[in-house]
Structures are given as C-alpha cells and as structure tokens.
Structure 1
C-alpha cells in the first residue's frame, strides 16, 4: 500500500479549453512544455528529459476539452496524475486543475516542480 497522498493545484489560464486540452493530451502539445521528447503508442506515452531513459505513462481516462488522466507505469496502480479543465461560473475563466500523488513530506517540492512546468506551459500559451 502506498503512503502517498493526492494533492491538487489550480492555475487560472487565459485560453480556450480546446487549446489547453491539446497541450495536455497530445504528444506534440506535451512536448511543448512537459518533457523534452514525447512519443505515444497504443495510449502509452513516453516522456524523456535531457536525453535520459524515457518514463512511460498510460493514458487511462480522458474527456475531450475536460480532462486527461495518466498513470506512470513504474508506480502503484492507484496513483495517477490528472489535468482537468474547469470554467468558473461567475467569470467564465478557464482553470487548469492538476491532481498528483506524493508522499506528505514531498508535496511542497512536487508542487514547485509543477509550478515550474506550468510556467513553461503558460509561456507557450502566451499567458
């Protein structure tokens, strides 16, 4: 049994859900901000950083322009990371919601890593 717990991060984004979804769900989009190289075959994505050995994640669930959920193949089956696209009711603003798992003492570091990645995404989106 994993000692990791789920945590959630939210980021307001200035772009349409359709454009954001492309950056979260396709190899070309993910390669723009998440990893140096991204390939996909049969719903298994290979992510490479700095020319290293690829980490593989299976796309386990998705809904067009709403969310995409991946599971790292080397981690516990119940763990995943998810990108969800929400709209606020009052302002109709797009919100990127990231869910991930980490050990309690690592949540702050993991959150900072996501922060760095999301900044790159926002740069690509022109935010």
Structure 2
C-alpha cells in the first residue's frame, strides 16, 4: 500500500509572513510548536518528542516561503512534509499550507495530528 498526498490549509489571519517564517523555517521556531526539541546539523534535523526522536533531511527551502523535509525512516522516496506560507487572495490573510503523505487508513489520524500541531502554533502566535 502506498502513501497518499494530502494538503491542509490553515488560516492564520493577520499574522505577517515575516513573523510566521521563523516558526517554520528555524530549529528554534519548530521546537516552539512542532516538537519538544529540534536539533540540526546542516540539513539534517532531529525532532524530539517525549523520549523518542525522528530524523528528517531538509530537501528544499526558500527563505520566507516554504521548507520541505523527508523523514529518513520513510521508505517512500517521493513522500515529504512541507510547510508553505501563502496569502489568501480572497481575504488577504496569511495561510499556512501543510503538505504531507499518509497511508489511506491513517489519513484521519495524520490530519488530526496536524490540526493539533497548528493549534499549538496559533496559540504561540496569539491567533
């Protein structure tokens, strides 16, 4: 069974992209909401949750716009997770687009996990 790509869009209202970027594009920012701690050695990031860790390789980044990671223990080469800052053409609000991959039977859990993580980010941003 192959993983399927999904995209979730989160409205962050009037948070400026310049304020949001450090939260998604730096190890310290990611440690504020995504993981308990984040360490990096070049493009190799280690994310810590409780007593476990998981490593990801930063495969792409455009400062102020997006960052993309591939989990090292993920056997599917095409899978990744990406955090991308966009602006809604309709409202002018800052949006965070999350792209990730999950097995079909784990899709709801993956979306729920992202919803929870983004809620933590919103609290940190005061949204």
Specify the TM-score bucket, using the shorter chain as the normaliser: over 0.9
TM-score, normalised to structure 2's length? 0.94
**Moved runs in structure 1, 4+ residues, more than 4 A?**
none
In structure 1, the residue matched to 2:49 is: 49
In structure 1, the residue matched to 2:102 is: 102
Is 2:19 aligned against 1:11?
Answer: no
TM-score, normalised to structure 1's length? 0.94
Residue aligned with 1:91, SS: coil
- Aligned 1:79-94 pairs, distance under 5 A: 79-94=79-94
Is 2:29 aligned against 1:29?
Answer: yes
Unaligned runs of 5+ in 2: none
Query: Separation in 2 of the partners of 1:51 and 1:105?
Result: 26
CA RMSD of aligned residues (A): 1.1
Is 2:86 aligned against 1:111?
Answer: no
Unaligned runs of 5+ in 1: none
